């Protein structure tokens, strides 16, 4: 079974509008971390936001917020006030196990976001 599922291969959003990128995950480990990364066409992988499995509050980082619904095993990324520079591939990733365990990240297949002027 897929550990990370991103069901939206491509998304379009109008500049200045908000957009939600979906991510569901599958793990039996009670301790895990969820990450979102942005990969522009230039190829680098840029860390955006983190949510720990025991975090009570949804994570926020500037225009990025993570809608964490633990019971549904979803960790959707919300980008507010989209900008042209937000056009990129977005990956959801999970680390199973507690912090300090040096575990690998497992990535979803990504969502290609295009911001329209």
Binding residues for another protein, rule: CB under 8 A, are: 33, 35, 37, 43-47, 50, 52, 91, 95, 99-110
CA neighbor of 49 nearest in space, from 79, 82, 5 = 79
Least CB distance from residue 35 to another protein, whole Å? 7
Least CB distance from residue 116 to another protein, whole Å? 23
**By C-beta, is 46 or 84 nearer to another protein?**
46
Least CB distance from residue 42 to another protein, whole Å? 8
**By C-beta, is 16 or 62 nearer to another protein?**
62
Distance CA 93, CA 50 (A): 10
Least CB distance from residue 44 to another protein, whole Å? 5
CA neighbor of 10 nearest in space, from 92, 93, 89, 65 = 89
Distance CA 29, CA 37 (A): 22
**By C-beta, is 42 or 117 nearer to another protein?**
42
CA neighbor of 6 nearest in space, from 29, 27, 25, 22 = 22
């Amino acid at each position: 079974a897929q550990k990370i599922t991103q069901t939206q291969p491509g998304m379009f959003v109008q500049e200045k509008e908000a957009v939600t990128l979906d991510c569901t995950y599958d793990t039996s480990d009670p301790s895990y971390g969820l990450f979102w990364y942005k990969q522009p066409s230039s190829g680098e992988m840029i860390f955006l936001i983190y949510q720990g499995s025991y975090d009570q509050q949804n994570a926020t980082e500037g225009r990025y917020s993570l809608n964490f619904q633990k019971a549904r095993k979803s960790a959707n990324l919300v980008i507010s006030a989209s900008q042209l520079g937000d056009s990129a591939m977005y990956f959801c990733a999970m680390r199973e196990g507690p912090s300090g365990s040096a575990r690998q990240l497992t990535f979803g297949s990504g969502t290609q976001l295009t911001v329209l002027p």
